Structure 1
Amino acid sequence: MSDRYELILTCPKSLESLLAEEAADLGLEEVREQTAAVRGFAGLETAYRLCLWSRLANRVLLVLRRFPVVDAESMYQDVLAVDWAEHMEPSGTLAVEFSGNGSGIDNTHFGALKVKDAIVDKLRTADGTRPSIDKINPHLRIHLRLDRGEAVLSLDLSGHSLHQRGYRLQQGAAPLKENLAAAVLIRSGWPRIAAAGGALADPMCGVGTFLVEAAMIAADQAPNLRREQWGFSYWLGHVPALWKKLHAEAEERAAIGLRKPPLWIRGYEADPRLIQPARNNIERAGLSDWVKVYQGELATFEPRPDQNQTGLVVSNPPYGERLGDEASLLYLYQHLGERLRQSCLNWEAAVFTGAPELGKRMGLRSHKQYAFWNGALPCKLLLFKILPEQFVTGERRSSRANEAGDSDEQQPLVAQANQAARLSEGGQMFANRLQKNLKTLGKWARKADIQCYRLYDADMPEYALAIDLYQDWVHVQEYAPPRSIDPEKAQTRLLDALAAIPVALGVPQDRVVIKRRERQSGTKQYERQATQGQFMEVNEGGIKLLVNLTDYLDTGLFLDHRPLRLRIQKEAAGKRFLNLFCYTATASVHAAKGGARSTTSVDLSKTYLDWARRNLSLNGFSDKQKLEQGDVMAWLAADRGEYELIFIDPPTFSNSKRMEGVFDVQRDHVQLLDLAMNRLAPGGVLYFSNNFRKFQLDEGLAARYSVEEISASTIDQDFARNPKIHRAWKLMAR
């Protein structure tokens, strides 16, 4: 065999330049970058060293042959031409990985089979012995990459991917791969900081990947020192004596490194479930003396190394995968920036994020940014120097105020003032509008003893939000922007608005909940959005109701129907009340409060009927309050009851496996109202409402019933800017 080989090192996309530098330092010659890989030439000693010491590579591939491919048969013949007896025993096990396409080979499974067949046919003995397939732990792993008619046939020296160091057996929800974490540390300057004796802290450390990788760099520990099985372990070209020499050198370097006084490397994690897995990973890496992990919220993060030491704060905050994450993530990044400014002066910081627009909300200017890929997700590494001149407007005043020793009472006011100072021009404009609305509507709500009301409803078209107050909570619904709006601009405005809300309304950031309201189809509006199960009591018209701000698109209380519910309460005394499409039966609770003889509430959803039962019980109503699960149209057709007061607020559109067909309010409202009017007692009243903007009440209904539109009288002051929120009618028999 040759004593100089072509080697290809694969890596995550965006690490090519870093890997090229590392590989050259480890002895690779004639290094060239490729997409998600580097290539070069070296002897076997360097190939072993790359396997052992590369912190960035996924695999080290030793190229056996390059050849042109005309078709599958020509590829088979060229693979067959390799002297496979130099590489493995006929009784060994084999795995083949094939990538690329072309030359009539468009299926990777077919390509891998042709390569496997060639190797097996070459090694088959007279007695029928031949290599068998083992995709998990083969003796030899072969790669063939087909690109534009050229095949690169390689032997994988790594075995399992080199990012699998072996210490991380327990993982968090979305951990970075170990080599990507190492790349972030290298780009952030950690090798330089560690060499100078600096400290490292991760305020959201998860299971400790950054911490372990940082400690291995600082202690001069080869990342794969503890790996026992390699891709070359059963390769016939393997030189055990050479490998043992390199491995012994690496062990000696690690021993020397670990005998040094440990650097101050600390992790903090809010989730108590991750603390022990992180400590277990650190122990498996042999770094328990170097790395410590503590449970702690980001709000309390404050690194305290000895002797006023500085260093690097590194963090991989959540990116947000679900609609509605924007508020919590924005405030998380703001908190992170606040902690860096207040507790890490003169440190350096590195924030790795898939949401770089949130990084701009930290109140710090980054001096460098690097593009990365985390799998298929584009990310950025933001680097900061925590110096006063890098603080965004207002922060210098904050730090001077803190240094001057403000009292505990003054500091929250200073922080709030500085938060306001950091608002963008658009954010400040939005905050001003909220404060103006709050001044007007807050006075009205207090006078009317209303605790839950709409504060803002797309008053400024560029900020397309509906903002409702539920006592001291804020419920935000983002209307999906039209396609004509640049998504980046829409996202910027949303973040501006979310930053302004706590400042303008004086509410804690963790009491702001955001959802996105889009045009709904079917039962999507009733589907569970989250599983927090947090209910809160609110008061309305002398009754208590349960709302849930997080788990569903709607909260359990339609605020625009407040006047209708209060009207029902006033008119319900001694009457039998029927509530169709009852949702959480808030109108039924009002009717019971008003002295209704009985209430009957009908809905298709068991979830909402259970909620309705809780609302009734909360107010001491259980007897004579019926809850019926069923398709309203079918239920009405079968019912023989009589009611003096009926309320119907149907959805615009509904379908379900439990109902026949589809309900469409425009198409079906005549049949619905005729069925309901058949159940109305003499002298009774039916209130009908819906929020379909294009709805037109059938003119023929007025010929059969007394019909009066009462929409204007059912719109309270908080919905006066949007009088089309719903329309309502009063129907009586002639």
Structure 2
Amino acid sequence: MMNKLLSVFVTCPKGLEYVLEKELDELLQKEAKVRPAGIAFEATLPEIYRFILWSRTANRVLLALAESEVHTAEQLYDLVYSVDWQEHMAVDNTLVVDFSGESKNINNTAFGAVKVKDAIVDQFRDRVGDRPNVTRDLPDIRINVKLAKGRAVVALDLSGESLHRRGYRIEAGKAPIKENLGAALLQRCNWSALGQDGASLLDPMCGSGTLLVEGAMILCDKAPALDRAQFGFLKWKQHQDGVWKALIDEAIERFELGLEKCIQQQAAGRSLLLGYDADSSVVYVARNNIKRAGLEAVINVAVQSLAELKAPSVEVELGDAETGDVKPKGLLLTNPPYGERLGDVESLKGLYRCLGDKLKSDFEGWKAAIFTGNVDLGRRVGLRSYKQYKLFNGSLPSQLIMIDVRPENYVKTDDSKESQVLLSRRHIRVANPERAAMFGNRLKKNLRTLGKWAKKNKLACYRIYDADMPEFSLAVDIYGDWVHVQEYAAPASIDEKAAKDRLDEALSVLPDVLGVSPEQVVIKQRRRQKGDSQYEKHDQKAQRMVVDEFGCKFYVNLIDYIDTGLFLDHRPVRKWIQAHSAGKRFLNLFCYTGAATIHAVKGGAAETVSVDMSNTYLDWGKENLALNGFSERGHDFVQADCLRWLDTARDKFDMIFLDPPTFSNSKRMEGVLDVQRDHVDMINKAMALLTKGGVLVFSTNLRRFKLDVDALSAFELVDVSKSTIDKDFERNSRIHQCWHVKYKTLTLG
């Protein structure tokens, strides 16, 4: 058995087959046949053990026991029964069956698994008069049967649980990548060679620390499966325990030596392993994971936002001047968030742009790699990549974008460059009329309910459709007689052609259903354009129009800007401000086009101050004020960075509206605004301007936002989010969060 060649199939995440093949060559010097989501090869049992212990990319290692043509349930039963199961397990062992595939007569996996189980237990009954039990909870033996193209392979799963489970990550952050995917990203970045040369590894958005732990395991020569207690072969009758224990002893010795070497390198200012995250709760999780992995001596993680990122001081020889072999100072590898909805994507543009700015200002001479499910967001970084790998994060198509951080690779980004066009100027091709009709029916249904609601509430502007159907990822807003269509960032699981087809199908029925002409439908596409049409300047523009909202009039512009001048989701917030502003001094921070200010003035506010950095928006706000017949006397519009303005302001206000952007690194600002990091400071400074008995209305569109209740414990905090979401945004209830912040009232005992 020791020298006998055994046939195995090793599974891995889709897209990593060639990484796994290279790993096999490095570990065992074996050739493999590459298959979808895995590789097949032959090896001896000691070699298979070594591969299980050291593979960083594998999921499962399946030992083939039998293979044959299978079309019926009876043929499947016979194939499984033909294996001598007593050579592999005892009757008192527990088992589980993993079955995949189907045929004409075996049309679901549960039925296939039952037939496999029946064959095994029947054989034991026939031979020993007893049967093994089935359990999914830590079974002794795991049987894997795959049926494809009329052939079935019966295999023993030697891994047990998937090998991506190393044992250190009991806790996880938000949307973590699996451990073996993290290791594969590092392998694609050539981290092993970089780290040995003294380069550092940095993850500025480290989450639960997976990339850092996997990077440290590579650098410290730690076998990825060293800490696992369970394997599928431990109760297998042909298991060679002495061989396995010798491999474990060797791996422990290698890790001890590798860890000591890494500690020494770091003491010399080389091979630093650093991670940061703005969320203190996930940094806590990361520290626990690092400690469980036994790597706390070489990995440092801390709470820090991307806006505060600086390159570490590292001692790296930059290469040989004669050969021109320049070595990078380090590798910045990160997996930033990438939203699937428009609101998420819009809020993340600044994050990616800030990452690019930090790379350009602080990380020249480094390698950078960004793993994202949204390639368009990846382009916001503003650096030209030299290589992209198409991979999968679970089922989600993603890309690893590889960058040399050098001035010749810097490119400019422009958020305003989005395709905006009237439907009348767009060529429509309907690929699937039935699917288009489905969208039309949903739009009609929404029009019956939301249209009636809007009419009852005298609303000229409202959202009629918000990605109700996964196939049609759009937001459709009514602005009087006009329709404003925004295409959400298509999920990465849908290719660009499919997304375009579905947009065309929706647009083909939209004018008839909503009773408007194509000349009154404005489309804003979030997809990157190709060729000469990219960022085309459209001659025809929607004429600036006036809309009404609760007795207030506003100018809106549906084409010339990314946003229209009126955030529809904040309609109930503005209504509340109007109802409670009589006789009060009102402050509107980050005022945009001043809509909340107009409502305050309409409600009888005695004085208002509106602050924004953009003169364009401030002028728009003044025009809105005049449109409603109000004088500017007593109503000031101030061009300033709100954060700096708060530092010097001394006047008191009875009501303050604070609705900062999620993330901003505008060149006109001093520093970078990050609403999660900065909200406590902003609220404290704004509260210093609030009169006793006044109210601060704080709102944010960051979906993952967490209000720091402890840091703001001096104030009364009332979450009013639910009351600020109108009927047309109920499907998107996390579009914003809103609080009323007041001074606590003292009670005498």
Alignment partner of 2:215: what SS? helix
- Are 1:423 and 2:414 matched, yes or no? yes
Change (3 A) 1:51 1:537: farther
Alignment correspondent of 2:288: 280
Change (3 A) 1:295 1:124: same
Alignment correspondent of 1:490: 526
Q: Partners of 1:98 and 1:517 in 2: how far apart?
A: 54
Alignment correspondent of 2:649: none
1:59-81 per-residue CA deviation (whole Å, 9 max, x = no partner) reads 01111111111310111011101
Q: Partners of 2:565 and 2:293 in 1: how far apart?
A: 44
Q: Contact 2:486–2:525 (CA<8 Å) still a contact in 1?
A: no
For the aligned residues, what is the CA RMSD?
4.6
1:255-279 per-residue CA deviation (whole Å, 9 max, x = no partner) reads 1111204331010111011122111
Alignment correspondent of 1:158: 159
Deviation at 1:321, TM superposition (A): 3.2
- Are 1:101 and 2:99 matched, yes or no? no
- Are 1:295 and 2:316 matched, yes or no? no
Alignment correspondent of 1:391: 410
Q: Partners of 1:360 and 1:78 in 2: how far apart?
A: 52
Q: Contact 1:319–1:355 (CA<8 Å) still a contact in 2?
A: yes
Q: One-letter code of the match for 1:143?
A: N
Alignment correspondent of 2:169: 168
Q: Partners of 1:211 and 1:156 in 2: how far apart?
A: 29
Larger radius of gyration: 1
TM-score (norm 1): 0.59
Deviation at 1:654, TM superposition (A): 9.0
Change (3 A) 1:538 1:265: farther
Q: Contact 1:480–1:517 (CA<8 Å) still a contact in 2?
A: no
Change (3 A) 1:132 1:300: same
1:8-28 per-residue CA deviation (whole Å, 9 max, x = no partner) reads 000110001111111122226
Deviation at 1:54, TM superposition (A): 0.5
- Are 1:341 and 2:360 matched, yes or no? yes
Deviation at 1:116, TM superposition (A): 0.6
Q: Contact 1:536–1:548 (CA<8 Å) still a contact in 2?
A: no
Deviation at 1:427, TM superposition (A): 7.0
Q: One-letter code of the match for 1:216?
A: M
Alignment partner of 2:398: what SS? strand
Q: Partners of 2:577 and 2:194 in 1: how far apart?
A: 49
Structure 2 unaligned runs (5+)?
264-270, 318-328, 422-460, 462-474, 489-502, 509-522, 537-560, 606-627, 629-654, 658-689, 695-724, 731-749
Q: Partners of 2:376 and 2:728 in 1: how far apart?
A: 38
Q: One-letter code of the match for 1:12?
A: P
Alignment correspondent of 1:313: 332
1:116-138 per-residue CA deviation (whole Å, 9 max, x = no partner) reads 11111112267742110111211
Deviation at 1:219, TM superposition (A): 0.8
Alignment partner of 2:136: what SS? coil
Q: Contact 1:172–1:274 (CA<8 Å) still a contact in 2?
A: yes
1:506-548 per-residue CA deviation (whole Å, 9 max, x = no partner) reads xxxxxx9979999xxxxxx88999xx99x99999896567999
Aligned runs of 1:577-726 on 2, under 5 Å? none
Q: Contact 1:87–1:235 (CA<8 Å) still a contact in 2?
A: yes
Change (3 A) 1:328 1:235: same
Q: One-letter code of the match for 1:207?
A: S
Change (3 A) 1:209 1:7: same
Q: Which moved more, 1:84-93 or 1:536-545?
A: 536-545
1:639-664 per-residue CA deviation (whole Å, 9 max, x = no partner) reads xxxxxxxxxxxx999999xxxxxxxx
- Are 1:352 and 2:360 matched, yes or no? no
Alignment partner of 1:169: what SS? coil
Match of 1:380 among 396, 399, 402: 399
Q: Contact 1:9–1:57 (CA<8 Å) still a contact in 2?
A: yes
Q: How many residues align?
A: 487
Q: Contact 1:59–1:158 (CA<8 Å) still a contact in 2?
A: yes
Alignment correspondent of 1:361: 380
Q: Partners of 1:15 and 1:537 in 2: how far apart?
A: 57
Q: One-letter code of the match for 1:483?
A: D
Q: Partners of 1:548 and 1:102 in 2: how far apart?
A: 64
Q: One-letter code of the match for 2:153?
A: V
Aligned runs of 1:480-559 on 2, under 5 Å? 480=487, 483=504, 489-492=525-528, 543=584
Q: One-letter code of the match for 1:76?
A: Y
Q: Which moved more, 1:116-125 or 1:283-292?
A: 116-125
Change (3 A) 1:5 1:536: farther
Alignment partner of 1:307: what SS? coil
Q: One-letter code of the match for 1:357?
A: D
Q: Partners of 1:465 and 1:308 in 2: how far apart?
A: 54
Alignment correspondent of 2:248: 247
Q: One-letter code of the match for 1:168?
A: R
Deviation at 1:330, TM superposition (A): 0.4
Q: One-letter code of the match for 1:290?
A: V
Q: One-letter code of the match for 2:10?
A: L
Q: Partners of 2:79 and 2:277 in 1: how far apart?
A: 54
Alignment partner of 1:341: what SS? helix
Q: Partners of 2:369 and 2:579 in 1: how far apart?
A: 43
Alignment correspondent of 1:328: 347
Q: Contact 1:549–1:555 (CA<8 Å) still a contact in 2?
A: no
Alignment partner of 1:325: what SS? helix
Alignment partner of 1:12: what SS? coil
Q: Contact 1:479–1:517 (CA<8 Å) still a contact in 2?
A: no
Deviation at 1:247, TM superposition (A): 1.6
Alignment correspondent of 1:115: 116
Q: Percent identity?
A: 40
Q: Contact 2:581–2:603 (CA<8 Å) still a contact in 1?
A: no
Q: One-letter code of the match for 2:41?
A: G
Change (3 A) 1:513 1:251: farther
Alignment correspondent of 1:21: 22
Deviation at 1:490, TM superposition (A): 3.3
Q: Contact 1:544–1:619 (CA<8 Å) still a contact in 2?
A: no
Alignment correspondent of 1:573: none
Change (3 A) 1:427 1:8: closer
Alignment partner of 2:380: what SS? helix
Deviation at 1:198, TM superposition (A): 1.1
Deviation at 1:249, TM superposition (A): 1.6
Q: One-letter code of the match for 2:303?
A: Q
Alignment partner of 1:29: what SS? coil
Q: One-letter code of the match for 1:491?
A: R
Q: Partners of 1:111 and 1:272 in 2: how far apart?
A: 47
Alignment partner of 2:342: what SS? coil
1:278-332 per-residue CA deviation (whole Å, 9 max, x = no partner) reads 1111111111111010111101111313336711001100011343112221000
Q: Contact 2:96–2:139 (CA<8 Å) still a contact in 1?
A: yes
Q: Partners of 2:570 and 2:305 in 1: how far apart?
A: 32
Q: Contact 2:418–2:526 (CA<8 Å) still a contact in 1?
A: no
Q: Partners of 1:79 and 1:326 in 2: how far apart?
A: 50
Q: Partners of 2:206 and 2:188 in 1: how far apart?
A: 18
Q: Partners of 1:326 and 1:20 in 2: how far apart?
A: 36
Q: One-letter code of the match for 2:307?
A: A
Aligned runs of 1:22-171 on 2, under 5 Å? 22-27=23-28, 29-124=30-125, 128-171=129-172
Q: Partners of 1:207 and 1:23 in 2: how far apart?
A: 28
Change (3 A) 1:377 1:260: same
Q: One-letter code of the match for 1:423?
A: D
Q: Contact 1:90–1:123 (CA<8 Å) still a contact in 2?
A: yes
Q: One-letter code of the match for 1:214?
A: G
Change (3 A) 1:134 1:549: farther
TM-score (norm 2): 0.58
